[in-house]
Amino acid sequence: MDPFPKEGESAAAGEPSRGTAPSSGVVVQVREKKGPLRAAIPYMPFPVAVICLFLNTFVPGLGTFVSAFTVLCGARTDLPDRHKCCVFWLNIAAALIQILTAIVMVGWIMSIFWGMDMVILASKYS
Protein backbone atom coordinates (compact mmCIF):
# COMPACT_ATOMS: atom_id res chain seq x y z
CA MET A 1 0.00 0.00 0.00
CA ASP A 2 1.29 3.46 -0.90
CA PRO A 3 1.98 5.46 2.32
CA PHE A 4 0.89 8.70 0.63
CA PRO A 5 -2.54 8.82 -1.00
CA LYS A 6 -2.72 10.06 -4.57
CA GLU A 7 -4.59 13.20 -5.48
CA GLY A 8 -8.31 12.73 -4.90
CA GLU A 9 -7.85 9.62 -2.70
CA SER A 10 -8.20 9.41 1.02
CA ALA A 11 -5.68 7.64 3.24
CA ALA A 12 -8.22 4.93 4.00
CA ALA A 13 -9.07 4.29 0.34
CA GLY A 14 -7.06 1.07 0.18
CA GLU A 15 -8.42 -0.25 3.47
CA PRO A 16 -11.69 -2.13 3.84
CA SER A 17 -14.67 -0.01 4.78
CA ARG A 18 -15.22 0.38 8.51
CA GLY A 19 -18.57 2.12 8.40
CA THR A 20 -17.21 5.43 7.13
CA ALA A 21 -18.64 7.31 4.19
CA PRO A 22 -16.60 7.25 0.99
CA SER A 23 -14.55 10.33 0.13
CA SER A 24 -16.63 12.97 -1.63
CA GLY A 25 -13.62 14.44 -3.49
CA VAL A 26 -14.04 17.92 -2.04
CA VAL A 27 -10.95 20.09 -2.35
CA VAL A 28 -10.26 22.26 0.67
CA GLN A 29 -7.94 25.24 0.37
CA VAL A 30 -6.26 26.69 3.44
CA ARG A 31 -4.96 30.23 3.31
CA GLU A 32 -2.87 31.74 6.09
CA LYS A 33 -4.20 35.02 7.40
CA LYS A 34 -1.35 37.31 8.37
CA GLY A 35 -1.52 40.13 10.86
CA PRO A 36 -0.22 43.57 9.88
CA LEU A 37 3.23 43.03 11.39
CA ARG A 38 3.73 39.67 9.69
CA ALA A 39 2.37 40.97 6.38
CA ALA A 40 4.84 43.87 6.52
CA ILE A 41 7.83 41.53 6.07
CA PRO A 42 9.38 42.59 2.76
CA TYR A 43 10.17 40.32 -0.18
CA MET A 44 13.93 40.87 -0.46
CA PRO A 45 16.62 39.38 -2.68
CA PHE A 46 17.77 36.04 -1.26
CA PRO A 47 21.29 37.14 -0.16
CA VAL A 48 19.86 40.15 1.72
CA ALA A 49 17.31 37.92 3.46
CA VAL A 50 20.05 35.52 4.54
CA ILE A 51 22.08 38.44 5.94
CA CYS A 52 19.00 39.64 7.84
CA LEU A 53 18.47 36.14 9.25
CA PHE A 54 22.13 36.05 10.34
CA LEU A 55 21.80 39.47 12.00
CA ASN A 56 18.52 38.49 13.71
CA THR A 57 20.12 35.32 15.04
CA PHE A 58 23.00 37.08 16.80
CA VAL A 59 21.53 40.54 17.54
CA PRO A 60 17.74 40.27 17.96
CA GLY A 61 15.89 42.87 15.90
CA LEU A 62 18.88 44.10 13.89
CA GLY A 63 17.96 42.14 10.75
CA THR A 64 14.36 43.29 11.03
CA PHE A 65 15.60 46.88 11.39
CA VAL A 66 17.73 46.49 8.23
CA SER A 67 14.81 44.92 6.36
CA ALA A 68 12.69 47.99 7.14
CA PHE A 69 14.97 50.05 4.91
CA THR A 70 14.49 47.64 2.00
CA VAL A 71 10.83 48.70 2.01
CA LEU A 72 11.94 52.28 1.34
CA CYS A 73 14.13 50.94 -1.47
CA GLY A 74 11.12 49.36 -3.19
CA ALA A 75 10.81 45.89 -1.68
CA ARG A 76 7.29 44.48 -2.05
CA THR A 77 5.18 43.36 0.94
CA ASP A 78 1.81 41.70 1.49
CA LEU A 79 0.36 45.12 2.38
CA PRO A 80 -0.09 46.70 -1.06
CA ASP A 81 -2.77 49.12 0.13
CA ARG A 82 -0.52 50.74 2.75
CA HIS A 83 1.97 53.53 2.05
CA LYS A 84 5.69 52.67 2.13
CA CYS A 85 6.26 54.85 5.18
CA CYS A 86 3.54 53.00 7.11
CA VAL A 87 5.07 49.62 6.23
CA PHE A 88 8.52 50.98 7.14
CA TRP A 89 7.27 51.98 10.60
CA LEU A 90 5.56 48.60 11.07
CA ASN A 91 8.92 46.91 10.47
CA ILE A 92 10.64 49.33 12.87
CA ALA A 93 7.95 48.49 15.47
CA ALA A 94 8.58 44.75 14.96
CA ALA A 95 12.33 45.33 15.42
CA LEU A 96 11.73 47.31 18.63
CA ILE A 97 9.45 44.57 19.98
CA GLN A 98 12.16 42.00 19.24
CA ILE A 99 14.87 44.11 20.90
CA LEU A 100 12.83 44.95 24.00
CA THR A 101 11.59 41.39 24.61
CA ALA A 102 14.94 39.72 23.87
CA ILE A 103 15.76 39.97 27.58
CA VAL A 104 13.20 37.24 28.32
CA MET A 105 14.14 35.21 25.19
CA VAL A 106 10.75 35.84 23.54
CA GLY A 107 12.17 38.56 21.30
CA TRP A 108 15.17 36.47 20.36
CA ILE A 109 13.00 33.55 19.29
CA MET A 110 10.64 35.92 17.47
CA SER A 111 13.64 37.51 15.77
CA ILE A 112 14.94 34.16 14.50
CA PHE A 113 11.51 33.15 13.20
CA TRP A 114 11.17 36.57 11.56
CA GLY A 115 14.49 36.02 9.78
CA MET A 116 13.38 32.55 8.66
CA ASP A 117 10.19 34.08 7.24
CA MET A 118 12.32 36.60 5.35
CA VAL A 119 14.34 33.79 3.77
CA ILE A 120 11.18 31.80 2.92
CA LEU A 121 9.60 34.85 1.27
CA ALA A 122 12.84 35.59 -0.60
CA SER A 123 12.99 32.03 -1.93
CA LYS A 124 9.39 32.30 -3.19
CA TYR A 125 10.10 35.70 -4.74
CA SER A 126 13.15 34.59 -6.76
Residues 33-63: tens digit of each pLDDT: 778 888 999 999 999 999 999 999 999 999 9
Beta bridge partners of 43: 76
The pTM for the full model equals 0.71
Rg (CA), the chain: 20
Domains of the chain, residue spans? 43-125
For the four alpha carbons of 34, 45, 65 and 74, in that order, the dihedral sign comes to negative
Grade residue 2 by pLDDT with cuts at 50, 70 and 90: low
C-alpha torsion angle, residues 95, 53, 43, 99 (rounded to 10) = 0
What is the spatial distance between Cα 15 and Cα 17, in angstroms, rounded to a whole number?
6
